[in-house]
Amino acid sequence: MQTLEVLKTLITYPTITPKECGIYEFIREFLPDFQVLELEKNNVKNLFLYKQLQGSGERRDLCFGGHIDVVPPGDGWEAFTPVIKGEYLYGRGTQDMKGGVAAFLCAVREFLESKTQSFNGILSILLTSDEEGEAIYGTKYVLEELKKRNLLPHFAILAEPTSVDTFGDMIKIGRRGSINGILKIQGKQGHVAYPSKCINPVEIIAPILPKIAGYNLDSGSDSFEPSKIVITDIRGGLEVVNVTPNDLKIMFNVRNSTQTNLEDLRGHLQDLLKGIPHTLELKQSSKPFLTNPNNPLIAKVVQSLQKTLQITPILSTSGGTSDARYFAEYGVDVIECGVCNDSIHAINERVKISEIESLKEAFVYLLKEF
């Protein structure tokens, strides 16, 4: 089966998080010679396929990671009926990320059928149905189990959609973390005609707000933008013009680099808020990571894109979070490489057919040279 036909088949499974819908059976049958681990937790089904290959050179265990779950389709289109229009295939998950899954499934199969003896180590595939949801019973859980079984890979590639204008122009070698915060400034409600009897939290926060809203906690680096406090919501009061607020609530997020952590943020805010009655809640929903740009995995992926596409990708850490962060937490060198990202989660999600075939070819080249 060609990559397009595999992708069309994957699209027909309505795998809205955390549903698996039998898609793993198709994948197991597509790669029948692999050992199988099926791991389930809290109704999330995960699949790990692995095969020991005896080649030459240093042992390097490589895992292709991804998710088969998708977001709901929205109204107005048949999201799970793949449709070809011109040079595009339409369907939910074509970019995010069944297109990438189809590419590495076909690449692995083609590589094994080629009988190339260069790969030395365990070649594996990790799939989850929980990436678009809570993302705690999927890849994270599987990696915990793999560590117990001494099956953690040395290297991992996630086929998330990473390209921008043309396939291969960007790969992700890291991601920023995400810290969510809620700050409440406590005051005393009162009549606006008697401000001396009020404690107005708006007036309290105003002098220090410039060191919160849009404030850079670090200066950034070659790999990361500055870790900026971004306010997402401010509210207080009764929506009337003659009563001052009793308290003020500020919600914010920091996409933090490896240069700034949660305690750095807490320290900055607590210094600003000394002597001010307040409460502060901070929660790290994901941690930042960076794979060394000189890592051999990055060099091999860049080489594969140069040889198959004549393009040198930008090494980026932009965007939101992904399951790559979990691989990094377990000491696995991880990158992300995939098709263009311009219609994910949107109605009429689509992928250029040539891109998934090119991604497959790049992965085949990588496996032969790895």
DSSP per position, 22-52:
THHHHHHHHSTTSEEEEEEETTEEEEEEEEE
Q: Which of 352, 325, 334, 351 is nearest to 70 (CA)?
A: 351
Q: Across residues 229-234, what is the average pLDDT?
A: 98
Q: Across residues 235-262, what is the average pLDDT?
A: 97
Residues 352, 309 share a domain: yes
Single residue among 286, 307, 323 that ends a domain in this structure: 286
Task: Choose the weakest-confidence range: 198-202, 319-323, 361-365.
Answer: 319-323
* Residue 320, domain extent: 3-175+288-369
Q: Which residues of 77-108 are buried (b: 16+ CB within 10 A; e: fewer)?
A: eebbebeeeeebbbbbbbbbbbbbbbbbbbbb
Confirm whether 131 is a catalytic residue: yes
Rounded (10°) angle between helices 353-369 and 3-11: 120
Q: Which of 176, 184, 218, 181 is nearest to 201 (CA)?
A: 184
Q: Which of 317, 319, 301 is nearest to 104 (CA)?
A: 301
Write down the catalytic residue from 131, 247, 333, 349: 131
Alpha carbon distance 349, 343 (integer Å): 5
* Beta-carbon count within 10 A of 8 CB: 20
Long-range CB contact pairs, 342-345, < 8 A, 24+: 342/95, 343/94, 343/95, 344/95, 344/96, 344/161, 345/71, 345/96
Single residue among 263, 286, 309 that ends a domain in this structure: 286
Write down the catalytic residue from 20, 69, 132, 160: 69
Per-residue pLDDT band for 115 (boundaries 50, 70, 90) equals confident
CATH of the domain at 9: 3.40.630.10
Residues 163, 294 share a domain: yes
CATH of the domain at 263: 3.30.70.360
* Token pair of 296 as six digits: 């051999």
Task: Output the average pLDDT for the chain.
Answer: 96
| First CA to last CA distance, the chain | 24
Per-residue pLDDT band for 164 (boundaries 50, 70, 90) equals very high
Residues 170, 42 share a domain: yes
Q: Is the pLDDT of residue 220 over 80?
A: yes
Give the up-direction half-sphere exposure of residue 203: CA atoms within 13 A in the CB hemisphere.
12
Q: Across residues 16-42, what is the average pLDDT?
A: 97
How many domains does the chain fold into? 2
Q: Across residues 341-364, what is the average pLDDT?
A: 97
Q: Is the pLDDT of residue 216 over 80?
A: yes
* Token pair of 331 as six digits: 């000491």
Per-residue pLDDT band for 196 (boundaries 50, 70, 90) equals very high
Residues 91, 33 share a domain: yes
Q: Is the pLDDT of residue 341 over 80?
A: yes
Per-residue pLDDT band for 65 (boundaries 50, 70, 90) equals very high
Residues 213, 151 share a domain: no
Residues 75, 27 share a domain: yes
Residues 182, 166 share a domain: no
Confirm whether 110 is a catalytic residue: no
Q: Is the pLDDT of residue 63 over 90?
A: yes
Per-residue pLDDT band for 74 (boundaries 50, 70, 90) equals confident
Q: Which of 250, 254, 249 is nearest to 266 (CA)?
A: 254
Residues 329, 240 share a domain: no
Q: Provide, rounded to the nearest whole percent, the portion of the chain with pLDDT above 90.
A: 95
Q: Tens digit of pLDDT for each residue in 77-104? A: 999 999 999 999 999 999 999 999 999 9
Q: Is the pLDDT of residue 76 over 90?
A: no
